[in-house]
Structure 1
């Protein structure tokens, strides 16, 4: 074999080796479609238009809402309505939900603003440092999350829920219609004269059905998500303890959310 042939062979082998290494690197680092949203973390912010300290928390929630892998939701409550301004989006069901979380911890008091991450009983205030700490904990537990995938077919919202390794896993699948953005002028109370930017306001909760730990498929009419000015939706798989909401096991959001 002459020198030129030897050089060409060596070059071919080097290129082939480089190609194999590059392919291995790409395979190790590439994410499948939608992987950035796999096992998203759900932040619930309990707030009120009549709460003077809630607006900074809403701004923090808006910042987290733009991050991949996070579903940030606003739950307006009603127990501050007597302070001179009734929250136009507050729902008694959300007040009851927050109180139910508190009851899981044996607490009788609730407050705003308050953030709950993945339905964990440990409640935190909604400053950025506390939220980042809670998000790290939630992501560390992501391996125990259940896959939830949603899409639309015709007039139906379809949801696939994966299986759980836990033999006694049980939860409920919920549809949460969401209004992604509204700007509200406050006419009374502690925030009188201010303008509030609402992000991802939950407008209701509809139970789709029970989940018993096995892979399952669910469908619900699309109009179920078109309520009370909602323009999007989130699907949440959440456990329950004595009828109270507990850990969120998985979630998915509508395309374009």
Structure 2
């Protein structure tokens, strides 16, 4: 168990000291691991085509340097089955990405890589190419770290490179549910049981980043939305209505 898991144990204050002593070295190594790509999959329980994308995201979620997120959207709910994990802010995030590209089209399964590249979520070849291309263009250039200390979440954001001192962005805390099996009873996927990973349960704005090194700490209750049991931190350009390139990211406990 990693030291920052302590904040997610019911009796955390009694157990945290022992966990910290027993696994400080392993936890320190895990926290230092850089994230090289962020993949967001916009999907729906009512979308028949999404069944081939969900295993792809599960495989990506197992890669140490990848943040792989499931974002269930609401616009297929009229097809006979209401997605039990979907929320309107996630639908609006996908539409915001479309606005950033100068269009209006959204679809499922749609994957967005590092806030910029777009592909069909089941096309692993295209996703690998987008991650590789993004890395060659500088990838996620800003170091981001997060950890739980007691009942607080600490976030550290690095400074922009000197050559890109004009960079600006927003810091987002993204509560996630690490795993959930859903028995879909109607619609295009009726009769199927689907296991979703890293399901986004909310988007919490923590603050503005002006290119300088930044440290934030917030109550861990900000990550305790719905049934979330971990979190991701994103440093992203643009705004809520027009999200832009992701500059950096960090994984929370168990991811």
Structure 1 counterpart SS, 2:238 = strand
Contact 1:173 1:236 in 2 (8 A): yes
- Using structure 2 for the length normalisation, give the TM-score: 0.84
Displacement of 1:144 in angstroms is 5.7
Q: Give the aligned partner of residue 189 of structure 2.
A: 191
| Structure 1: gaps spanning 5 or more residues | 1-31
Q: Give the aligned partner of residue 178 of structure 1.
A: 176
Q: Deviations over 1:185-244 (max 9, x none)?
A: 111110111111111100000001110000010011111111111011000000106941
Contact 1:174 1:237 in 2 (8 A): yes
**C-alpha distance in 2 between matches for 1:113 and 1:222:** 31
1:134-149 correspondence runs (5 A): 134-142=130-138, 145-149=141-145
Are positions 1:255 and 2:253 aligned together? Answer: yes
- Aligned match of 2:94 in 85, 93, 98? 98
Contact 1:36 1:68 in 2 (8 A): no
Are positions 1:152 and 2:142 aligned together? Answer: no
Contact 2:36 2:140 in 1 (8 A): no
Q: Give the aligned partner of residue 237 of structure 2.
A: 239
Contact 2:93 2:240 in 1 (8 A): no
Displaced runs of 4 or more, over 6 A: none
Displacement of 1:36 in angstroms is 7.3
**C-alpha distance in 2 between matches for 1:36 and 1:170:** 23
Pair 88,106 (structure 1): closer, same or farther in 2 beyond 3 Å: same
- Aligned match of 1:48 in 19, 44, 47? 44
Q: What is the root-mean-square deviation of aligned Cα atoms in Å?
A: 1.7
Q: Give the aligned partner of residue 123 of structure 1.
A: 118
- Aligned match of 1:79 in 75, 80, 89? 75
**C-alpha distance in 2 between matches for 1:241 and 1:181:** 29
Q: Give the aligned partner of residue 198 of structure 2.
A: 200
Q: Give the aligned partner of residue 218 of structure 2.
A: 220
Q: RCO greater where, 1 or 2, for CA within 8 Å and sep 6 or more? A: 2
Structure 1 counterpart SS, 2:119 = coil
